[in-house]
Structures are given as C-alpha cells and as structure tokens.
Amino acid sequence: MTGTPFAGQVALVTGASRGIGAATAEALAAAGAHVVLTGRDTKALEGIEERIFAAGGHATIAPVDLTEPDGIARLATAVAQRWPALDILVLNAAILPQLTAVTDLDQRAFNKALTTNVLATQALLANFDPLLRKSADPRVIGLTSTVATAPRAYWGAYAASKAAFEVLLDCYAQETRNISKLRVAIVNPGPTRTAMRARAYPGEDPASLKPPEAVAARLLALLSEDFASGYRETVNQSR
C-alpha cells in the first residue's frame, strides 16, 4: 500500500460484494482502514475479502440481509463487541425494483425496495450512531441517485425510495451537526459501470461509463476532506 491515511480506523460498507461498494471497500482497506464488508452474497464478500488480504489490507465479512428485522441490530452488536468505535459508515446497498408505471407497481417489490433503501437506512443510523459518536472523526456517506431529486417516468418506486433516503440523511445531519463531531455527506455517483446500471439501461455501452473505482477514489478523497455535515456532491464522468 502506498499510503495509509485511514490506519487505525474502522469502516463499514453496505452492499460491499460488488460494484461501487466493493471498490470503495478495497480503496478504504488499501488506505489502511479495517473494513467490515456487509452484503447478502457471502461468496462474493469472501472474494472481496481475499483481494483485500492479497493487497495487504484488513477486512472482515459480515453477511447480512438488510430486510431481516433483527439483522442490523445483530450486526451492530457484533461490531461493538470487537471495536470500540466506528469511524466510517458507507451506506451503499440499494435495490432497484422493476421500472414501471406508478399505477402498475408490484406492491411486494416496492415494499422490498422501501425496506432496503429507506427502513434499513434508519435502522443502520439508529444502531450504529452510538459507535459513530465514540469516534474522534465519525463520517457517514450515503450513495444516492439523480432520480431522487429529478424523478423520471417509470422510475417512481426507486426515485421515491431514494428521495426518502436523502431526507433521512439530511435530517440526521441536522440533528447531529451541533451536538457531535459526526459529519454526513450525500453523494450521487452519476452514471457508473455497475450491474444495477446495466439492468436499468440494457442497451447502453458499458465502456462509455466510468468504472466503480472512479467513484471509490472520489469517496476516499472526500473522507479525507473537512466537509460540512449535510454536504452534497455528484461525481463527474472522468474515467
């Protein structure tokens, strides 16, 4: 590793088994953080963990389904039993339901998206807030989408869930701003070469999009900056 600015820090990344989550986890580990990798795909998480180990980094996998009622609470308890504080929380996990008209939404799929993208976000903040406050420099980054503030036809389910996601993070930033060191940022990665993007835009040329590593590099830089809580940013298209 060429530099370890996050040495001694503990970071938890949700949705760390692939895409932006995996790239961010690997970048944080390369910069010295011990990264807790969460996601539903245990085998994929093990693959990311192995790559981190091979690069000289440190990581721990913590498979969890964010839709399980007690999964997040158990995860927070396990992390608290091993580490005295959590320095970085990256809220990356999200579900993209089928793109369809509002009147044709499948209630079960919509509910799953709301549970993962919204209810799980609140549960993660509630359960990890005590550990974050024990850090000397706690930071939370939430990955959002353009449709949260610029909704489009047939994107109603995902846009609604991401809009609620942003509101939760905005409120949390305001509630903690003057009484703690905690800082919250909302980052829109923009068009990125991920499996989710491919499902949404099957005819798009992946080579025209920036890779997840470009987003991870920007998140790593942001985490090193003295940003104000409630900060927002869209990652540019550089590849």
The residues carrying an active-site annotation are: 158
Q: In angstroms, how far is the first alpha carbon of the chain from the final one? A: 22
Residues 38-66: b if buried by 16+ CB within 10 A, e if exposed: bbbeeebbeebbeebeeeebebbbbbbeb
Element (DSSP H or E) covering residue 232 = strand 231-234
Q: Which two tokens stand for residue 197?
A: 């993007």
The whole-angstrom separation of Cα 65 and Cα 10 is 21
- How many Å separate Cα 137 from the centre of its chain? 18
Q: Which two tokens stand for residue 27?
A: 């970048």
The contacts found for 119-125 with CB under 8 angstroms, 24 or more apart, are 120/66, 120/67, 120/72, 120/93, 121/91, 121/165, 121/168, 121/169, 122/168, 123/66, 123/72, 123/73, 124/14, 124/66, 124/72, 124/89, 124/91, 125/168, 125/172
Q: Which two tokens stand for residue 165?
A: 């996601």
The whole-angstrom separation of Cα 187 and Cα 172 is 15
